[in-house]
Amino acid sequence: MKRKCRALIPVLLLVAGCGPVEEEAPLSLGRREQAQEDLNGLSFNGLSFNGLSFNGLSFNGLSFDGLTTGSFNTWFQSNPATANQVMRYVVRCAVPGGQTRAYTDPSTGQSYTWSGALGLAPGWATGQTATLYEQQAVSACLAAHANRLGEEVSISVLGRDGPGAAIPYSTAELTSHARREACFFGNLFAGQGIFVGAEREPLGPTESTSRACGPLLNGGSEAAASCGPLVYAGACATYCTLHSSGLYFESCTYNGVTYHRPLTTRLRVEDVHTCGDAVCQATERCGTSTRYDNCGLDCGSCP
């Protein structure tokens, strides 16, 4: 028997107050209509903006209680700035576009409102118990939105929501976000960890991106070393089964555990920077060469 949990709030590294959730049988794929939202000039389907810091991804102490419980208040008040950022992405991942979730800090009276977007946990969004697949989908979504530099970069998120419906996408989205990036899978809520795999070859020595934990950075594992609790698993194709569309992975098995709701991400070509484009990016360093970490062409010589 599964214990009821009233809200899908991530424990991230520590699960408290919730027992195991029974796994449900896989559902057939289907397309779902989703609310359209203009996000910085982009028509919203599977498009989103990452920017969750890794400090937020590893900010533990939450249980599956509701937003008005004492445990949530205690967690939120321990670090309101980080908690606010975490909840921004929890709601963005879990709740459908056009809906919001709000919380008022009883100790200060300050109110916070977070907007839904991807709608990966539609059952929980209507007050039902979060299913195992919803936990997996939202876990993967939080990891996909993490950014090592805390920057907001447009990403295309492909895969399935908790019940199994495909996240809507358009030809325009696939064209604008043509750079294949990574697969994300795991379950933060069950204490199983969160993993990332490379969906394509690593970046070249002249290339860099703030999405380094994707991992597109040269070598992959080098980037992931500074991206904990995200664990670099290697190539997606080694662990994951590709959907017949070729656009995203249906499931990933790692360390003997199968995750049925991985997410696959894509980037805009312009968000992968090249040493020599005359702009010293946050991911580039001064030097005398054309490597991203020794880029004299963009960042000049080091003092």
Q: Which of 82-86, 126-130, 250-254 has the highest mean pLDDT?
A: 250-254
| Position 86 pLDDT exceeds 60 | yes
101-159 pLDDT per residue, tens: 999 999 899 999 999 999 999 988 887 778 999 999 999 998 888 876 666 778 899 99
pLDDT of 225 higher than 70: no
Q: Is the pLDDT score of 60 beyond 60? A: no
How far lies 236's CA from each of 85, 169, 241, 265, in Å?
Answer: 28, 21, 8, 12
Residue that wins the pLDDT comparison between 249 and 194? 249
Task: Name which residue leads in pLDDT, 241 or 91.
Answer: 241
Beta-carbon contacts of residue 266 (< 8 Å; ≥ 6 apart): 155, 156, 158, 174, 177, 178, 179, 180, 181
Q: What is the mean pLDDT of residues 28-45?
A: 30
Mean pLDDT value across residues 67-79: 80
Supply the pTM of this predicted model.
0.76
What are the DSSP calls for 70-137, one per residue?
Answer: HHHHHHHHHSHHHHHHHHHHHHHHHSBTT-EEEEE-TTT--EEEEE-BB-S-HHHHTTPPPPHHHHHH
Instruction: Report pLDDT for 214.
Output: 55
- Mean predicted lDDT score pLDDT of the chain: 75
Residue 248 has pLDDT above 80, yes or no: yes
Residues whose CB is less than 8 angstroms from the CB of residue 303 and which lie 6 or more positions away in sequence, other chains included: 286
